[in-house]
Structure 1
């Protein structure tokens, strides 16, 4: 049986910060469940959201657009938001599209959570 294209999970950390972890591919064929999960997460207005892309093996333009949209949505809702991007599969497309400087990128979950905590206090 084939592996699913991605795995998605949401975990509540201390102080109610939500960690959304994605693995596998993040592209036109696989992004919809991730977008749906992020919709639920943002609708709950948590004190912070960390999107962990550390296990993403491929990210297409749809994934980039999703990140930009999440960042804008978090700003509108005033929900602190951070992205864990520490692999070439994620960082390179962000650099090529020149959106890496516009997103709150961090090298580890701990760094991202610390950044979200700092903003939410």
Structure 2
């Protein structure tokens, strides 16, 4: 029997103010609402930028991709810089297959994503 790893999403405030949302576990139809709520809460704080760190996501389904696309569009509407940290096959493969990887600002590390959003938001 496979045991599901529950989704966990936490937000840290970095200087700027930049909010870094770290998501871990499974991001799919059962768990995407928690990730969406964390992202919406971050945008409501009106930061300069949001970095969504998916390096600890073990599986991402189409609902997870929808969270990313919605966050990308919301950031554009609000004028908030937005970047995604993705460096694992479990996240990059679905993004490539769905051709979303060309739409999102993807970075292999949190430091690179933070540097990119700082550059865009200045």
Q: CA deviation at 1:3?
A: 7.3
- Is 1:113 matched with 2:122? no
- Of Structure 1 and Structure 2, the greater helix share is in 1
- Is 1:10 matched with 2:7? no
Q: Superposition RMSD on alpha carbons, in Å?
A: 1.2
Q: CA deviation at 1:84?
A: 0.1
Q: Alignment partner of 2:102: what SS? A: helix
Match of 2:49 in 1: 48
Using the alignment, how far apart are the partners of 2:60 and 2:4 within structure 1?
A: 17
Residue segments in structure 2 that go unaligned for 5+ positions in a row: none
Normalised TM-score (structure 2): 0.95
Q: CA deviation at 1:4?
A: 5.3
Q: CA deviation at 1:8?
A: 1.2
Using the alignment, how far apart are the partners of 1:73 and 1:58 within structure 2?
A: 24
Match of 2:98 in 1: 97
Using the alignment, how far apart are the partners of 1:66 and 1:6 within structure 2?
A: 13
Q: Alignment partner of 1:70: what SS? A: helix
Query: Which has the higher mean CA deviation after the structures are superposed, 7-16 or 57-66?
Result: 7-16
Normalised TM-score (structure 1): 0.95
Q: Which runs of 4+ in 1 moved over 6 A?
A: none
Residue segments in structure 1 that go unaligned for 5+ positions in a row: none
Using the alignment, how far apart are the partners of 1:3 and 1:60 within structure 2?
A: 14
